[in-house]
């Protein structure tokens, strides 16, 4: 399973972007994390466009971003790339500021973690905490696991394990509902909705923060 980590930020001093790049690059190298440095011309306008080929996303045009992207283990790409005013942006939010969230002026980014256990989520949160304190005027995170706020690794690992078990149970029970011919289609839909809602409340109550 994966955990959705949403984040957004604005640099305290956009001129410090090169220092941030070098520091994150050194951290990535030391930990054998994949990364890519972006150093595009901030004076040029964005002409970025996105199109789909099947399920694949293809980008064309100019993206005036400076910063670095990285992958920790099996996480999605984490974007730490910025516009001239220091606002954190990605390809996705340059094309559509509302791609992740509902704030056009201060877009949210997203990265999925947790596919290979708690370690990558913890590592990314620790990196974000460090960078937020050192470089950012504003840095906000929404972490459905609660770990970002609590920093409690034992509680987070327990939450992740409980979530994985609950997800497997939900899948099995939804399949039983789907194949229960004694119920009408409307009854099956209502039972499925209740199951999903109950699991959400259960996981929210047991979160790490």
For range 74-82, the mean pLDDT? 94
Instruction: Tell me the per-residue pLDDT of 122-162, one tens digit each, with 9 for 90 and over.
Output: 999 999 999 999 999 999 999 988 999 999 999 888 888 77
Work out the percent of the chain whose per-residue pLDDT is above 70: 92
pLDDT score of 208 more than 50: no
d(CA 87, CA 12): 10
The values of phi and psi at residue 150, to 5°, are: -90, -40
pLDDT score of 27 more than 70: yes
pLDDT band at 179 (very low <50, low <70, confident <90, very high): confident
CA atoms within 13 A on the CB side of 190: 5
CA atoms within 13 A on the CB side of 171: 7
pLDDT at 53 (0 to 100): 77
Among residues 174, 158, 123, 165, which one has the least CA distance to residue 5? 123
pLDDT band at 206 (very low <50, low <70, confident <90, very high): low
Instruction: Tell me the per-residue pLDDT of 161-173, one tens digit each, with 9 for 90 and over.
Output: 777 756 766 677 7
pLDDT at 209 (0 to 100): 40
Dmax over CA atoms of the chain, in Å, equals 66
Angle at 30 between CA 69 and CA 41, to 5 degrees: 30
- Domain positions in the chain are 3-144, 153-205
């Amino acid at each position: 399973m994966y955990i959705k980590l949403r984040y957004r930020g604005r640099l305290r001093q956009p001129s410090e972007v090169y220092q941030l790049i070098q520091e994150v690059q050194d951290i990535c190298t030391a930990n054998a994390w994949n990364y890519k440095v972006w150093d595009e011309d901030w004076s040029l306008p964005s002409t970025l466009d996105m199109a789909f080929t099947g399920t694949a996303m293809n980008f064309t045009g100019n993206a005036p971003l400076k910063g670095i992207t990285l992958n920790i283990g099996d996480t999605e790409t984490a974007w730490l790339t910025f516009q001239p005013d220091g606002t954190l942006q990605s390809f996705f939010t340059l094309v559509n500021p509302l791609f992740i969230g509902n704030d056009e002026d201060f877009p949210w980014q997203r990265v999925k973690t947790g596919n290979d256990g708690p370690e990558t989520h913890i590592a990314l949160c620790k990196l974000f905490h460090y960078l937020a304190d050192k470089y950012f005027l504003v840095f906000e995170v929404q972490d459905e696991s609660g770990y970002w706020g609590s920093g409690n690794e034992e509680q987070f690992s327990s939450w992740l394990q409980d979530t994985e078990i609950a997800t497997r149970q939900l899948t099995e029970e939804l399949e039983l509902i789907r194949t229960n011919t004694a119920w009408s289609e409307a009854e099956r839909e209502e039972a499925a909705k209740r199951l999903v809602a109950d699991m959400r409340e259960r996981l929210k109550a047991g979160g790490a923060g």
